[in-house]
């Protein structure tokens, strides 16, 4: 089978159920740092929807931001790849296939830095997009302007913006829109702050710093789409049906959300909303982030330690099981949603229904064990605020969120630390619980005291009193220590499955 390319697409009959983007490339208006699955299945696809609707005529230059990556593979297919969007729509299984065609070329920042700089100096460039992982937006004091390239993404960006500033002699209309997609809060504001700090550290001209502030727009964003990546087990069959070889196949769910905290004038330049995409432009994204973190992420973090110890392995199994599925739905509708101060109940109900729909997606095999990673910090950020707000609002504890906390604490009692991980057993099967090492060491030490005879009530008090883990002493929450210790006593006597079965009865 011939490999996917522009010339091939002009020769073959593409299946009727496959959408194909424009084959003729427009001007290179987007510089994208990150060539991985997420950006190709999210940002690349979104810009293609604008192109298909006649609202955008540009193309994307992709930059491989680290030494090893996929730039060669992308160039080998002339920037083309097939995106599979799969999931449930109104209870029906849906699969959409689209050949994304808007990448003009891929550059390796480490072997082609001069070419990356040339793109930054281009008259046509308007946007810089990034997804360099959460650890990518950090200040590296070792970076220097003379490095080709600097190591960190913010330093690369600072160097490129300075080159552009020099090229156009500080012209006010030559600033860019910088759109980070890294999964950290206030990603745009954080990136802007680091870029300004680097400009100061490098003793760049004051006029450049003024141009950075006034001519460029850094927006903060919230992104949401589950991207499962290359469908290895199905790839051969899919390519056979498509009629070509595609080594860059990428699979994702149907759902997408992009919340962009930026000026309304930018919404007119990028009219995603006009063509029906789930894009929200806002002056303040905090309520949208809180909704996502508490409902989507919070439901995950609530259900996973319970369902994994119940004996299940994937999110789909969790939702299909009548006991655990009911537990998750009740946690969402009876405890998480009521705890929110958000007054838009219709929006909250719609989001909750969408979350449950996404959890039920049969195409996504999301393993509970992978979500169990770093659970203490996840519980603190995603679930604890709902627990505390519910208690404050109703003067009683949300029983399911408390049970989830008890099940999470129980995991730390199931094994010992080996090579920085907690090696545990579920039934007769071993699994590794990964978390912050200091948290693992603290919690396992407390549970060792239980093995030596310390009563569970005192064990619970020590676990909940770990301010360094929870950010506060949870023993001060009315009746929480008593409720958690009661659950832990039952779990140790009967097991998570029996306790949950009794709860649901």
pLDDT surpassing 90 at residue 90: no
CA distance 33 to 43: 11
Q: How many CB atoms lie within 10 A of CB 172?
A: 9
- Which residue has tokens 């920037």? 79
pLDDT surpassing 70 at residue 134: no
- What is the 8-class DSSP label of residue 254? S
Give the list of residues 6+ apart from residue 108 with CB closer than 8 angstroms, or none: 63, 64, 67, 69, 71, 72
Give the list of residues 6+ apart from residue 93 with CB closer than 8 angstroms, or none: 86, 87, 362
Going by pLDDT thresholds of 50, 70 and 90, the confidence category of residue 475 is very high
Give the list of residues 6+ apart from residue 320 with CB closer than 8 angstroms, or none: 360
What's the confidence (pLDDT) of residue 434?
87
Per the prediction, the chain carries an average pLDDT of 95
Stated pTM of the model: 0.90
What's the confidence (pLDDT) of residue 497?
97
pLDDT tens, position by position, 325-372: 999 999 999 999 999 998 899 999 999 999 999 999 999 988 999 888
What number is the average pLDDT over the span 185-203? 97
28 SS3 class = strand
Q: Give every strand in the sheet of 279-282, ordered side by side.
A: 220-224, 257-261, 279-282
The string of DSSP letters for 155-208 reads HHHHHHHHHHHHHTTT-GGG--EEEE--SSTTHHHHHHHHHHHHHHHTT--HHH
Tell me, letter by letter, the H, E, C secondary structure of 385-422: HHHHHHHHHHCCCCHHHHHHHHHHHHHCCCEEEECCEE
Q: Please name which of 187, 210, 184, 188 lies closest in space to residue 199, comparing C-alpha atoms.
A: 210
Query: 286-504: what fold?
Result: 1.10.1040
pLDDT tens, position by position, 56-82: 999 999 999 888 889 999 999 999 999
pLDDT surpassing 90 at residue 91: no
CA distance 247 to 227: 16
Boundaries of every domain in the chain: 6-282, 286-504
CA distance 218 to 141: 22
CA distances from 424 to 193, 324, 414, 416, 453 (A): 42, 22, 5, 7, 21
Going by pLDDT thresholds of 50, 70 and 90, the confidence category of residue 407 is very high
Query: 6-282: what fold?
Result: Rossmann fold (3.40.50)
Give the list of residues 6+ apart from residue 343 with CB closer than 8 angstroms, or none: none
What's the confidence (pLDDT) of residue 29?
98
What number is the average pLDDT over the span 145-153? 95
pLDDT surpassing 70 at residue 458: yes
What number is the average pLDDT over the span 400-428? 93
Q: How many CB atoms lie within 10 A of CB 240?
A: 11
CA distance 63 to 71: 7
Q: Do 288 and 350 touch, CB atoms closer than 8 A?
A: no
pLDDT tens, position by position, 231-288: 999 999 999 999 999 999 999 999 999 999 999 899 999 999 999 999 999 999 999 9
Same fold, 6-282 and 286-504: no
């Amino acid at each position: 089978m011939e490999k996917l390319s522009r010339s091939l697409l002009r020769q073959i009959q593409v299946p009727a159920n496959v959408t194909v983007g424009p084959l003729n490339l427009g001007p290179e208006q987007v510089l994208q740092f990150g060539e991985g699955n997420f950006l190709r299945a999210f940002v690349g696809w979104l810009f293609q929807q604008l192109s298909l609707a006649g609202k955008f005529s540009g193309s994307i230059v992709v930059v491989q931001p680290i030494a090893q990556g996929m730039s060669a593979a992308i160039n080998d297919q002339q920037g083309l790849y097939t995106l599979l969007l799969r999931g449930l729509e109104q209870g029906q299984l849906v699969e959409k296939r689209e050949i994304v065609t808007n990448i003009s070329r891929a550059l390796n920042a480490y072997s082609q830095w001069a070419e990356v700089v040339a793109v930054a100096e281009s008259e046509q460039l308007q946007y810089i997009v990034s997804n360099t992982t959460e650890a990518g937006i950090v200040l590296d004091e070792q970076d220097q302007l003379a490095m080709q390239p600097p190591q960190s993404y913010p330093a690369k960006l600072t160097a490129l913006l300075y080159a552009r500033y020099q090229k156009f002699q500080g012209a006010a209309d030559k600033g860019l829109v910088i759109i980070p997609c890294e999964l950290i809060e206030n990603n745009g504001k954080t990136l802007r702050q680091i870029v300004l700090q680097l400009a100061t550290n490098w003793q760049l001209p004051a006029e450049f710093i003024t141009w950075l502030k006034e001519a460029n727009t850094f927006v903060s964003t919230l992104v949401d789409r589950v991207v499962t990546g290359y469908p290895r087990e199905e790839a051969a069959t899919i390519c056979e049906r498509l009629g070509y070889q595609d080594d860059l196949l990428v699979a994702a769910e149907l759902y997408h959300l992009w919340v962009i905290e930026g000026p309304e004038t930018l919404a007119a330049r990028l009219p995603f909303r006009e063509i029906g995409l789930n894009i929200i432009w806002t002056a303040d994204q905090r309520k949208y982030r809180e909704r996502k973190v508490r409902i989507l992420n919070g439901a995950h973090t609530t259900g996973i330690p319970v369902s994994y110890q119940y004996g299940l392995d994937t999110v789909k199994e969790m939702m299909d099981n009548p006991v655990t599925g009911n537990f998750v739905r009740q946690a969402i509708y009876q405890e998480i949603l009521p705890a929110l101060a958000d007054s838009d109940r219709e929006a909250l109900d719609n989001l909750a229904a969408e979350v449950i729909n996404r959890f039920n997606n049969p195409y996504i095999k999301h393993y509970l064990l992978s979500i169990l990673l770093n659970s203490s910090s996840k519980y603190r950020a995603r679930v604890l605020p709902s627990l505390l707000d519910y208690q404050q609002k109703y003067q009683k504890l949300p029983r399911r969120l408390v049970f989830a906390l008890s099940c999470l604490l129980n995991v730390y009692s199931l094994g010992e630390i080996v090579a920085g991980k907690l090696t545990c057993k579920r039934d007769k099967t071993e699994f590794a619980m990964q978390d912050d090492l200091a948290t693992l060491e603290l919690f396992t030490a407390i549970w060792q005291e239980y093995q030596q005879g310390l009563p569970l009530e005192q064990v619970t008090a020590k676990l909940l009193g770990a301010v360094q883990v929870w950010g506060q002493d949870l023993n001060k929450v009315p009746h929480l220590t008593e409720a958690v210790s009661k659950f832990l006593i039952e779990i140790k006597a009967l097991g998570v499955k029996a306790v949950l079965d009794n709860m649901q009865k």
